[in-house]
């Protein structure tokens, strides 16, 4: 019997909020970013994302620059505080139950997110998901450079990165009996249309309309 694949978007899907957007706010609150220069740009990038017009390259430059300004050991400790203060309250019981159900069924579970893997890997781990595909910050000699390596996991980039990940393990999407993808965002339509079972979760207006037209299931994890 073929194994099934369960893909989960993270921000506003498994999480009742956005880990990327809130990371910048958290850094401002910690006094590590200047509120005046960063707040407005953060708001604009978030609005662009919701409208589906985000320039992912420019956004990642903005989002990853603070990582280059501190040692990795300091950032790792800072992230622990971020998890406790900001992320844990966004993790819902329904989301955890959904992940647990797929794991119990023996499905291959992957969190796939446009947000960088420094921010998101500990969150995926907290949900008990071993595998994460995210936009990867560049590292040199164990420290972050502020750059990005590989294809960002945004829009069609999610398809590219998933296929790369599967090929590296000698697999392809069609090897799975059922492939699920849970997402809230119309930015994920490219990947949603490739899996056998797309599920709209607390969907934005555009995705909700597409889901209704295509007869995709809709659910809430809030």
Distance, CA of 197 to CA of 129 (rounded, Å): 19
Q: Of 11, 136, 184, 202, which is the active-site residue?
A: 11
Which residue in 9, 18, 107, 136 is the catalytic one? Answer: 9
Looking at the chain, list the stretches that DSSP marks H as alpha helix, in order from N- to C-terminal side. Answer: 19-29, 35-51, 56-64, 72-82, 93-104, 117-126, 156-168, 189-192, 205-214
Tell whether the torsion through CA atoms of 62, 83, 220 and 131 is positive or negative: positive
Helices 56-64 and 35-51 pack at an angle, to 10 degrees, of 150
9 catalytic, yes or no?
Answer: yes
The number of angstroms, rounded, from the C-alpha of 174 to the middle of its chain's C-alpha atoms is: 23
204 counts as catalytic: no
Tokens 């309250």 sit on residue: 89
User: Which residues are the active-site residues?
Assistant: 9, 11
């Amino acid at each position: 019997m073929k194994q099934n694949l369960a893909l989960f978007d993270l921000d506003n899907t498994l999480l009742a909020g956005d880990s990327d957007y809130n990371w910048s706010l958290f850094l401002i609150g910690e006094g590590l970013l200047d509120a005046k220069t960063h707040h407005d740009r953060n708001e604009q990038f978030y609005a662009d994302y919701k409208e589906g017009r985000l320039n992912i390259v420019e956004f990642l430059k903005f989002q990853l620059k603070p990582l280059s300004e501190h040692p990795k050991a300091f950032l790792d400790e800072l992230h622990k505080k971020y998890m406790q203060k900001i992320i844990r309250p966004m993790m819902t019981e329904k989301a955890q139950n959904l992940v647990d159900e797929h794991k119990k069924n023996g499905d291959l579970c992957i969190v796939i997110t446009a947000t960088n893997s420094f921010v998101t890997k500990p969150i995926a781990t907290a949900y008990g998901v071993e595998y994460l595909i995210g936009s990867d910050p560049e590292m040199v000699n164990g420290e972050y450079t502020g750059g990005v390596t590989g294809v960002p996991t945004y829009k069609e980039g999610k398809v590219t990165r998933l296929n790369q990940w599967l090929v590296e393990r000698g697999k392809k999407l069609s090897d799975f009996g059922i492939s699920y993808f849970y997402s809230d965002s119309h930015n994920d339509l490219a990947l949603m249309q490739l899996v056998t079972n797309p599920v709209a979760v607390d969907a934005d207006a555009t995705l909700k309309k597409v889901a209704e037209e295509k007869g995709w299931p809709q659910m809430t994890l809030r």
